[in-house]
Amino acid sequence: MVVSRDEVERAFRESVKALHCPRCGHAFTDFAFDWGNAWSEGRLDLLHELRQQERDGPFKVKCESCGQRLWINYFAWTATSATG
């Protein structure tokens, strides 16, 4: 099966948006996904500057409704607090 990069990203985006914030109960939005992409880019830049690499890093989102930052476990499709 051949799948394009855009199709993979679109499917991942929709999977994230199907999850709900454990703090406020609202579904994640495009904002949460886009915030996570920006966070990931910054993380990759930092790792590059430190001459380190990471194969499968975490994906972090920010709930648009309540501001909670969460880790997305993309193996179990769960969201848990990133602030403890």
Instruction: Report the phi/psi class of residue 19: left, alpha or beta, with left for phi > 0 and alpha for psi in -120 to 50.
Output: beta
Residue percentage of the chain with pLDDT more than 70: 98
Share the mean pLDDT of the chain. Answer: 91
| Residue pair 24/37 in contact by the 8 Å Cβ criterion | no
* Long-range CB contacts for residues 34-42, cutoff 8 Å, separation at least 24: 35/61, 35/62, 36/60, 36/61, 36/62, 36/72
pTM for the predicted model, two decimal places: 0.81
Q: Report pLDDT for 74.
A: 85
- How does residue 48 score in pLDDT terms, banded at 50, 70 and 90? confident
Per the structure, the count of domains in the chain is 1
Q: Report pLDDT for 84.
A: 63
Identify the domain containing residue 65 by its residue range: 5-81
**Order of strands, edge to edge, in the sheet holding 69-73?**
59-62, 69-73, 78-81
Q: Give the whole-angstrom CA distance, residue 20 versus residue 25.
A: 5
Q: Give the whole-angstrom CA distance, residue 24 versus residue 21.
A: 6
6-33 pLDDT per residue, tens: 999 999 999 999 999 999 999 999 999 9
